[in-house]
C-alpha cells in the first residue's frame, strides 16, 4: 500500500525558505549617514542629562519604599538609615537616578533617530513602506506569527541564558535588572523601555535597515538545490553579531541574544516585515520584565 503521509523534507525546506525581496534603495553611504544621526542624537541626549550626579536622596516612595508620615521628625533620618542599611548610599541613589535618566534620554534619542532615518530614506532614497519592513496587510496575523515563534523559542533561549550565567558567573548583570532590583520604583520606566521602545527601534535598525541592505547585496542571493532563489545566512549572522555586541556589559546576555537575533533575522528574511520581529522581541523582553516584577513582589511580601 502506498504511503500517503507527507514527507518531512518539504516541510523543513518550507520552514527555511527565505526568498529574496526586491533590493532596497539605500546603500552603505546611507547606513553611515543614519549611524551618524543616531550617534549625534545619543550624544546630545546624554549631554542634556549631564554626567555628574548630585548626592541627593531621592524620595523613598520613588524607590519603592514607604516613608514615615509627613511631619515626622524621624522621617529623613529613617530614609537615610534604611538606604544605607541595604547599601543605598546617597551617592548611589543619585547615580541610579542618573542611570535611569540616561536610559530614558537614550530611548527618546533612539526614537528620534528612527523617525529621522525613515524621513531620510523615504524622501532621499524613495524607499517604500515595504522596503522598510513597515507595511503589513494583516497586522493581527503578523502579531500571531511573532507570538507563535516566541512560544517555540522562549524556553531554549531562556534556558541558554541560565546555562551561560551558571557556567560563566559574570560579575556584572543586566543594568536594568541591577537598578530595578535595588530601586523597585524604577520598574515602570524600565518596562516601557524594554517592552516598547527597544523592540521597535532595535528591530528597525538591525533588521529593517541593516539586514535589509545586506540582503540586497548580490552575494546574499543564492540558488538552492531546487533551483529556487534563496537568501544567504551570512547577513543574519553578521547582524546578529552586531546585535550581541550592542549588549556587551549586560552580563552573559550577549551569548543568548546572538542566537535570539539569528531567529529574528530568519523571521525577517522569511516574511520581510518588522511586525513579527517586534512582537517576538517584545514578548521576550516582556517575559523577562514580568519575571523580574514577580521577583520584586515576592521580595516585598
Q: What is the mean pLDDT of each run of 10 residues along the chain (301 residues)?
A: 42 58 95 97 89 45 40 38 44 64 90 98 97 95 95 96 86 77 84 95 97 94 78 95 89 90 96 96 96 84 46
278 inside domain: yes
Are the CB atoms for 120 and 29 separated by under 8 Å? no
Domain membership of residue 187 (yes or no) is: yes
For residue 3, being part of any structural domain is answered with: no
Q: Which pLDDT does position 15 carry in this prediction?
A: 54
Residue 168's pLDDT is 82
The HSE-up count of residue 191 (CA atoms within 13 Å, CB side) is 12
d(CA 7, CA 20) in angstroms, rounded, equals 25
Q: Structural domain of residue 185, as residue ranges?
A: 21-300
Asked, for residue 252, whether it belongs to a domain, the answer is yes
**CA dihedral angle for residue 233, residue 239, residue 241, residue 242, rounded to 10 degrees:** 170
Residue 6 within a domain? no
Picking from 213, 218, 272, the residue whose alpha carbon sits closest to that of residue 238 is 213
Residue 143 included in any domain: yes
Domain count, the chain: 1
Residues forming a β-bridge with 230: 222
The answer as to whether 226 is a domain residue is yes
Long-range contacts of 46-52 (CB under 8 A, 24+ apart): 46/102, 46/105, 46/106, 48/105, 49/98, 49/101, 49/102, 49/105, 50/98, 51/98
**Cα(79)–Cα(59) distance, integer angstroms:** 9
Assigned domain for 9 exists: no
Alpha-helical runs (H) found in 60-89: 75-85
Amino acid at each position: 500500500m502506498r504511503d500517503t503521509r507527507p514527507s518531512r523534507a518539504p516541510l523543513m525546506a518550507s520552514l527555511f525558505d527565505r526568498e529574496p525581496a526586491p533590493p532596497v534603495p539605500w546603500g552603505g553611504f546611507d547606513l553611515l549617514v543614519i549611524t551618524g544621526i543616531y550617534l549625534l542624537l545619543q550624544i546630545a541626549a546624554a549631554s542634556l542629562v549631564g554626567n555628574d550626579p548630585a548626592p541627593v536622596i531621592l524620595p523613598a516612595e520613588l524607590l519603592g519604599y514607604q516613608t514615615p508620615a509627613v511631619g515626622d521628625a524621624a522621617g529623613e533620618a529613617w530614609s537615610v538609615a534604611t538606604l544605607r542599611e541595604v547599601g543605598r548610599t546617597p551617592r548611589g541613589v543619585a547615580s541610579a537616578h542618573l542611570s535611569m535618566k540616561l536610559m530614558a534620554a537614550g530611548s527618546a534619542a533612539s526614537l528620534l533617530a528612527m523617525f529621522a532615518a525613515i524621513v531620510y530614506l523615504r524622501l532621499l532614497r524613495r524607499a517604500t513602506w515595504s522596503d522598510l519592513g513597515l507595511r503589513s496587510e494583516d497586522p493581527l496575523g503578523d502579531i500571531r506569527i511573532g507570538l507563535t515563534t516566541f512560544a517555540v523559542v522562549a524556553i531554549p533561549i531562556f534556558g541558554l541564558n541560565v546555562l551561560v550565567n551558571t557556567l560563566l558567573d559574570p560579575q556584572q548583570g543586566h543594568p536594568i535588572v541591577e537598578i530595578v532590583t535595588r530601586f523597585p520604583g524604577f520598574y515602570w520606566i524600565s518596562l516601557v523601555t524594554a517592552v516598547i521602545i527597544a523592540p521597535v527601534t532595535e528591530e528597525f535598525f538591525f533588521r529593517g535597515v541593516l539586514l535589509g541592505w545586506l540582503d540586497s547585496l548580490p552575494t546574499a542571493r543564492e540558488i538552492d538545490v531546487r533551483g529556487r532563489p534563496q537568501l544567504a545566512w551570512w547577513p543574519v549572522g553578521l547582524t546578529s553579531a552586531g546585535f550581541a555586541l550592542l549588549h556587551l556589559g549586560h552580563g552573559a546576555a550577549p551569548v543568548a541574544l546572538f542566537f535570539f537575533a539569528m531567529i529574528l533575522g530568519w523571521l525577517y528574511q522569511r516574511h520581510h516585515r518588522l511586525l513579527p520581529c517586534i512582537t517576538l522581541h517584545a514578548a521576550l523582553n516582556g517575559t523577562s520584565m514580568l519575571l523580574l516584577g514577580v521577583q520584586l513582589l515576592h521580595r516585598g511580601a
